Structure 1
Amino acid sequence: MMDLPASAATAGQRPLRMGDVAPDFQARSTLGPVKLSDYRGRWLVFFSHPADFTPVCTSEFVAIAKAAEAFAAMDCGLLGLSVDSLYSHLAWVRAIRDGFDVTIPFPIVEDPSMAIGRAYGMIEPDSPDSSAVRATYFIDPEGVIRAMTWYPLNVGRSVDEMLRMVAALQRTAGGDALAPEGWRPGEDLLATAPQDQAGVLAGSNGAWFCRTEADGQ
């Protein structure tokens, strides 16, 4: 069972963008009924995969499951989705446990009608399946999409980069600093660029528009 409100259908008429509110939905999952809005108040990584029982998807889920505690330490939930049925998900979870000795600790949502995938723009309106979909949405505690990544069918996502993305989004959410290339917690940040001549001329010579600063947190 799934329940997509009218707002989700409307959002699905154009690709979702960063800054959009993530469309709410209610559906069955491997850990019982799930509603996206239940995750309000914490960060969420919501990700789709093309199909159960496939090599790349299995490697991703094993790695994400092993990193689940690291996401939880950042108060970030995990939620997977594919067009496969609940019973396919359950059989796959069992196969992963038996084959890799890894238990999937987060819900995997079923989407056999592709309603959720289409509402999120994961699937083209006229597509008969979701075989080319490997999307990830990083959603903040207010339910706003702060970042998105897309990977092709034949390339798996980097769980390390997913963790880094959450950490960087959380650290820069207040707008007081910027995360440079490859930033990780504890490393120097970038100061926001000055907005007037006084700010530009202040301080020492150099690249006033790209100044590092120690992370005070």
Structure 2
Amino acid sequence: MGINLGDTFPNFEADTTVGKIRFHEWLGSSWGLLCSHPADFTPVCTTELGLMAKLTLEFKKRNVKMIALSVDSVKDHHGWSKDINHYIGESQVQNLPFPIIADEKRELAVQLGMLDPAEKDCQGLPLTARAVFVIGPDKTLKLSILYPATTGRNFNEILRVIDSLQLTACKKVATPVNWKNGEECMVLPSISAEEASILFPKGIRTDDLPSKKGYLRFTPQP
């Protein structure tokens, strides 16, 4: 099983460190970032959740609610949260600034296609891979990235992609390779020259190519 881009994200019910939630109601009108983790009290996951906590304000600026998932219990999540806060120098803080879902039966991990068959726990059960799901306010999946359990995520890239998703959701542009917020964007091929001149009053730069097709059109970020 799994979920594809553009699909409505499941409105699952789950126990979390902030109590039981229904996902769509919890998300509200915000964007959402769901990150799955192989297990509690594991090294790579601890560094990731620590960085998520440190980046809380960056995600809040983008109207993104964060939520994590692990195959352990809520009780374990609370104990692990203390370790994570200690690791990032916030030992006086008990709870993380986002919920952690308890998926002890791996039901949500199976539903969303997040299990890594190459990585198993001490009981021989597959661990959850490092999935990244970005969900829009319309409750549809906008981005998915799947890392193996042994590779930590790059949250600078996740923030960069969210910036692109939020820009391209409201402006008729695409973002080129290695784009960062504030840099030149690309005019969509479906937009005519006449429409482009109206939509992008800051100007359009077209690269001259051997094909003479004029499809590499750049414009300052609208």
Task: Using structure 2 for the length normalisation, give the TM-score.
Answer: 0.82
- Partner residue in 2 for 1:4: none
Aligned residues with identical type, % of pairs: 30
> Would you say 1:85 and 2:73 are equivalent positions?
yes
**Partner residue, 1:165:** 161
Question: What is the CA-CA distance between 1:21 and the residue it aligns to?
Answer: 0.6
- What secondary structure does 1:143 align onto? coil
- 5+ long unaligned stretches in structure 1: 1-13
Q: Which residue of 1 aligns with 2:109?
A: 117
Distance 1:129 1:111 in 2: 13
CA distance in 1, matches of 2:28, 2:43: 32
**Distance in 1 between the 2:102 and 2:128 partners?**
17
Q: SS of 1:146's equivalent?
A: strand
State how 1:31-110 maps to structure 2 within 5 Å: 31-38=18-25, 39-102=27-90, 103=93, 104-110=96-102
Counterpart position of 2:3? 16
Distance in 1 (CA, whole Å) between partners of 2:41 and 2:206 is 58
**Aligned-pair distance for 1:95?**
1.7
For residues 179 and 9 of structure 2, the distance between their equivalents in structure 1, rounded to whole angstroms, comes to 26
Aligned to 1:206, the other structure's residue is in SS state coil
Residues 176 and 97 of structure 1: CA distance in aligned 2, closer, same or farther (over 3 Å): same
How many positions carry a matched residue from both structures? 200
- Structure 2: gaps spanning 5 or more residues: 196-204
Aligned-partner Cα distance in 2 for 1:204–1:15: 40
Runs of 4+ aligned structure 1 residues displaced above 6 Å come to 195-199
Quote the Cα distance in structure 2 between the aligned partners of 1:78 and 1:205: 39
Q: Distance in 2 between matches of 1:188 and 1:197?
A: 18
Tell me how large the CA RMSD over aligned residues is: 2.5
Rounded Cα–Cα distance in structure 2 between residues aligned with 1:98 and 1:197: 56
Specify the code of the residue in structure 1 equivalent to 2:77.
Answer: H
- What is the deviation of 1:211? 1.2
Change beyond 3 A, Cα 1:121–1:70: same
Following superposition, the deviation at residue 100 of structure 1 comes to 3.0
In the superposition, relative to structure 1, how do residues 195 and 124 fare at CA in structure 2: closer, same or farther (>3 Å)? same
8 A contact 2:175–2:186 mirrored in 1:
yes
Contact 1:40–1:142 (CA under 8 A) maintained in structure 2: no
**Secondary structure at the residue paired with 2:35?**
strand
> Which residue, out of 175, 178, 185, partners 1:182?
178
CA contact (8 A) 1:30 1:109 kept: yes
1:19-46 CA-to-partner distances (Å, cap 9, x unmatched) read 1111111111112222210203110001
TM-score normalized by structure 1?
0.84
Aligned match of 1:5: none
